[in-house]
Structure 1
Amino acid sequence: MSSWNDVEQAEPEFAARVRSIFDAHKHKTIATLRSDGSPRISGIEIQFADGELTFGSMPGARKGADLLRDPRFALHSASVDPPEGAPAAWTGDAKIAGRARLVGDLDGEVAGQLFHADLTEVVRTGLNEAGDRLVIEFWRPGEPLRRVERT
């Protein structure tokens, strides 16, 4: 598995674009798997710290229980509409998939569990310079950055 630092080392410009999208808004969305295998969507806050993507779960939260049972997750940035009349100025959105690894308790005044993300995929979706084609960039461990354009 790969850490956030691995993405930054392999593709620093891509990592900076993805991180700026995640850092632009406090709240993100995480998908976990329920015990019956169906998806669960929850709100979450994340942090990039010391080369790691980290997040927490409050005591008794279902997302924490989901991650302890099955560590697979998908994380999505806040998604905003392209600017009116200037679609190419849209910063896009970002997604990260991987496995959550429990590393201990949260520090600070809020109790809970602290997880680090072992990454399997990082994706940025945006528009081309003309604003008329969807651009999807994605990184996977051990592979070069890929870029796909769609109409």
Structure 2
Amino acid sequence: MASWREIESDAPEFAARVRARFDAGTNKVLATLRKDGSPRVSGTEAKFDDGELMFGSMPGARKLLDIRRDPRVAMHSPTLEPPSESPQAWEGDAKLAGRAVEVPPPADTQMPDSGFFRLDISEAVLTRVGDPPDHLVIESWHEGSGYHRRERR
């Protein structure tokens, strides 16, 4: 799996657009797997720090228990609606998938039973409306195959 820094090095323009979508708001959506394998979505905060995407969870949270049992996760950027008068001006939305790797808590943490994670990334996707606005543009980066761009009508 890749660090965010590796994606930035491999596909810098794409990585900058994905990061801008994640930085567009505080709250992201995190998908985890419940004990029975069904999905769970939760709000979370995440930030890019020293070439890694980092996030945390409060003690006892269901998402924390999910991640500690099965670290496969996906994260969606804050969603901003396309402008109705010019949808092709929309910068799109972004998704990341991979494995959450637990890291030591920051020295100043107030909640010692919290979980702190970096995301080892297997996939990054940016979807936006094309110009003219009659198709979608899907850009992606996958571990092992790198950056790709395609259109869907």
Per-residue deviation at 1:84?
A: 1.8
Amino acid at match of 1:124: L
TM-score by length of 1: 0.95
Amino acid at match of 2:134: D
Aligned equivalent of 2:129, options 123, 127, 130: 127
**Equivalent residue for 1:71?**
71
8 Å contact kept, 1:32–1:66: yes
Amino acid at match of 2:59: P
The gaps in structure 2 that reach 5 residues or longer are none
Per-residue deviation at 1:58?
A: 0.6
Superposition pairs of residues 66-145 of structure 1, within 5 angstroms: 66-108=66-108, 110-111=110-111, 112-145=114-147
SS in 2 for 1:104: coil
Distance 1:71 1:101 in 2: 7
Distance 2:94 2:135 in 1: 17
> RMSD between aligned alpha carbons?
1.1
Per-residue deviation at 1:110?
A: 4.5
8 Å contact kept, 1:8–1:16: yes
Equivalent residues, number = 151
TM-score by length of 2: 0.94
Per-residue deviation at 1:148?
A: 1.4
Distance 1:4 1:126 in 2: 21
Per-residue deviation at 1:129?
A: 2.2
Instruction: Determine if the alignment matches structure 1 residue 48 to structure 2 residue 48.
Output: yes
String of CA shifts for 1:75-128, please: whole Å, max 9, x gaps: 001222210211111010000000000012245454222101110100000011
Amino acid at match of 1:123: V
8 Å contact kept, 1:106–1:113: no
8 Å contact kept, 1:28–1:76: yes
Amino acid at match of 2:48: F
Distance 1:67 1:77 in 2: 19
Amino acid at match of 1:137: E
Distance 1:36 1:150 in 2: 34
SS in 2 for 1:45: strand
SS in 2 for 1:79: coil
